[in-house]
Chain A
Amino acid sequence: GDQVEQSPSALSLHEGTGSALRCNFTTTMRAVQWFQQNSRGSLINLFYLASGTKENGRLKSTFNSKESYSTLHIRDAQLEDSGTYFCAAEGGNTGKLIFGLGTTLQVQP
């Protein structure tokens, strides 16, 4: 079945630094969404991409459907960026949104 593999599972950054999160898909996905879940459990939609690259402030996301992956780049990390980041992709066959297992990000002073 459709699978979403997310890496790394955990990440620690110092304030001001950056990194990339990645999702690999085992089948062709139609679109991808990225979410941030904060400590209270609230999920915020960061990006929706059907292709290409989008940027919003210190975040940038790319979706390459041909090579079956998506990335989320965080630059100049801030303490409030801490949380769990999920990617979710729409399966080509079912249209159902499939979530990855998440990347837990901790930003330290």
Chain B
Amino acid sequence: AQTIHQWPVAEIKAVGSPLSLGCTIKGKSSPNLYWYWQATGGTLQQLFYSITVGQVESVVQLNLSASRPKDDQFILSTEKLLLSHSGFYLCAWDSAETLYFGSGTRLTVL
């Protein structure tokens, strides 16, 4: 069975500080991976997707970047956080066009 793990569970960071969020999927070879962002009380917005190692497509520009260093790993990062980066970040993978989400990382930028 496939499992998706996100880390950390939650972060409280200062404006201007760097950020790195991680996502690992096990039990699935060459998965399509996605990063989504959800503002508090809001809907989900796709940020990035990747279909293979080393390849990442940006969907929405939010002063964030993503990388796929390994087949099973997807990283979301920025060098300088903004207040507007606060929210809930979800990693996801798809199988037979059905989307499955990780448990998310709640980010608070102060």
A-B interaction: yes
* Residues of chain A having any CB pair with chain B under 8 Å: 31, 33, 35, 40-43, 45, 48, 86, 88, 90, 96-97, 99-102
Q: Give A90 to B46 CA distance when docked, in angstroms.
A: 12
A selection of 22 A-B contacts at a CB cut-off of 8 Å is: A31-B97, A33-B99, A35-B99, A40-B103, A41-B90, A41-B104, A42-B101, A42-B103, A42-B104, A43-B44, A43-B90, A43-B101, A45-B100, A45-B101, A48-B96, A86-B43, A86-B44, A96-B59, A97-B99, A99-B44, A100-B43, A102-B43
* Residues of chain B having any CB pair with chain A under 8 Å: 38, 42-46, 59, 88, 90, 96-101, 103-104, 106
Which residues of chain B have C-beta atoms less than 8 A from A101's C-beta? Answer: 42-43
Which residues of chain B have C-beta atoms less than 8 A from A40's C-beta? Answer: 103
- A48 near B45: Cβ-Cβ < 8 Å: no
- B98 near A48: Cβ-Cβ < 8 Å: yes
Q: How far is the CB of B54 from chain A (nearest CB, A)?
A: 22
- The closest CB in chain A to the CB of B96 belongs to A48
Q: Known pairs A97-B46, A102-B43; list 10 more (Cβ under 8 Å).
A: A41-B88, A42-B104, A43-B101, A45-B99, A45-B101, A48-B97, A86-B44, A88-B44, A88-B99, A101-B42
Interface of B is mostly: strand
Q: How far is the CB of A49 from chain B (nearest CB, A)?
A: 10
Which residues of chain A have C-beta atoms less than 8 A from B42's C-beta? Answer: 101
Q: Give A45 to B59 CA distance when docked, in angstroms.
A: 22
- The closest CB in chain A to the CB of B45 belongs to A99
Q: How far is the CB of B5 from chain A (nearest CB, A)?
A: 13
Q: How far is the CB of B40 from chain A (nearest CB, A)?
A: 10
Q: Give A40 to B104 CA distance when docked, in angstroms.
A: 9
Q: How far is the CB of B60 from chain A (nearest CB, A)?
A: 10
Q: Give A18 to B101 CA distance when docked, in angstroms.
A: 27
Q: Give A58 to B104 CA distance when docked, in angstroms.
A: 27
A-B residue pairs, 7 tightest by C-beta: A43-B101, A48-B98, A99-B44, A99-B43, A101-B43, A41-B104, A42-B103
